[in-house]
C-alpha cells in the first residue's frame, strides 16, 4: 500500500545489517492521506539514509562543556569543521554503505557535505526486494 501526502519525506537510518523487523504497519491511510494502492514495481523512488555519526557521544559531552557556565570551554563555540569531525560517519560505516550499494548495482549520492546523509535512487521493486518491504 502506498500513502501519499505532498510533504511526505522518506528517510531511513542505516544502523546495522541484522535481519529486518517490522516496527509499525498501517491497514489504512492516516487522516489527511490518500490511499493510492500499491506503487508500481517500476516506479522510481529516492531513499535518503542517515549514516551513523562517528562520535555522537563526544559531541554531546562537548556541547555540555561549552554551554555550562564556569567551565573553561564555556561559550567557546564549535566551528563547522569541528562539528563535522563528530557527525561524519566513520570510514568503515561509509565503506559498508557504499559496498552495500555497489553490490546491489546502485550508486549513492551525497545529500550533505558532511557525508552523514546519502541517497539511493532505485525502483519500488528493487527497494521491496532489498529491504523486505511491500
Per-residue pLDDT tens digits of the chain, which is 134 residues long: 444 433 333 333 333 455 678 888 888 888 999 888 889 999 999 999 999 999 999 999 999 999 999 999 999 999 999 999 999 999 999 999 999 999 999 999 999 988 899 999 999 999 999 998 88
pLDDT at residue 18, rounded to an integer: 53
Specify whether 30 is located in the same domain as 82.
no
pLDDT at residue 11, rounded to an integer: 34
Specify whether 44 is located in the same domain as 100.
yes
pLDDT at residue 15, rounded to an integer: 38
Specify whether 99 is located in the same domain as 37.
yes
Specify whether 124 is located in the same domain as 62.
no
Domain that includes residue 73, residue range: 54-87
Specify whether 8 is located in the same domain as 25.
yes
Separation between Cα atoms, residue 59 and residue 87, nearest integer Å? 8
pLDDT at residue 26, rounded to an integer: 82
Specify whether 37 is located in the same domain as 22.
yes
Nearest to 3 by CA among 30, 21, 23: 30
Q: What is the number of domains present in the chain? A: 2
Specify whether 74 is located in the same domain as 8.
no
Specify whether 44 is located in the same domain as 24.
yes
pTM: 0.69
Q: Cβ(61)–Cβ(30) under 8 Å? A: no
Specify whether 16 is located in the same domain as 43.
yes
Separation between Cα atoms, residue 16 and residue 65, nearest integer Å? 31
The residues near 23 (Cβ < 8 Å, ≥ 6 apart) are none
pLDDT at residue 38, rounded to an integer: 87
pLDDT at residue 6, rounded to an integer: 35
Specify whether 63 is located in the same domain as 37.
no
Output helix, strand, coil percentages for the chain, rounded to the nearest 5: 30, 20, 50
Specify whether 119 is located in the same domain as 63.
no
pLDDT at residue 19, rounded to an integer: 67
pLDDT at residue 31, rounded to an integer: 92
Specify whether 61 is located in the same domain as 126.
no
Amino acid at each position: 500500500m502506498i500513502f501519499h501526502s505532498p510533504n511526505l519525506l522518506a528517510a531511513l537510518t542505516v544502523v546495522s545489517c541484522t535481519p529486518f523487523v517490522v516496527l509499525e504497519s498501517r491497514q489504512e491511510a492516516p487522516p489527511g492521506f490518500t490511499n493510492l494502492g500499491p506503487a508500481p514495481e517500476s516506479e522510481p523512488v529516492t531513499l535518503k539514509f542517515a549514516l551513523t555519526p562517528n562520535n555522537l557521544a563526544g559531541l554531546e559531552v562537548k556541547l555540555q562543556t561549552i554551554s555550562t557556565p564556569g567551565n573553561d570551554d564555556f561559550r567557546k563555540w564549535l566551528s563547522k569543521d569541528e562539528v563535522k569531525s563528530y557527525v561524519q560517519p566513520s570510514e568503515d560505516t561509509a565503506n559498508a554503505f557504499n559496498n552495500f550499494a555497489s553490490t546491489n548495482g546502485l550508486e549513492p549520492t551525497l545529500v550533505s557535505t558532511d557525508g552523514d546523509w546519502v541517497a539511493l535512487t532505485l525502483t519500488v521493486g528493487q527497494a521491496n526486494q532489498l529491504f523486505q518491504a511491500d
